[in-house]
Amino acid sequence: GTPVENKIKFITGVALESLQKLKEEERVFDLVFIDADKGNYINYYDFIMDNGLLEQSGTIMVDNTI
């Protein structure tokens, strides 16, 4: 294993359902990587920001954007 593997969590599933579960668990992240259906990226971003899932100094990375 690696020294950071216990700090990384990969989540697969329906994006908004997964985000809702993280909210219910009161999870907060330093880094969020969004790789989902492109048409809903803004909805995922808004949910993350509106529900405090990202640390104040955290970073969001989004796949396939320019």
Full-prediction pTM beyond 0.75?
yes
**Pair of tokens at residue 11:** 């989540």
pLDDT digits (tens, 9 = 90+) for 26-65: 999 999 999 888 899 999 999 999 999 999 999 999 998 7
Block residue for tokens 């359902």: 17
Confidence of residue 22 (pLDDT cuts 50, 70, 90): very high
Number of structural domains (the chain) is 1
For the chain, where are the alpha helices, taking DSSP H only? Answer: 15-24, 41-50
Query: Distance between CA atoms of 63 and 66, rounded to whole angstroms?
Result: 9
| SS percent in the chain: helix, strand, coil, step 5 | 40, 25, 40
Q: Which domain holds residue 19?
A: 5-62
What is the reported pLDDT for 6?
Answer: 87
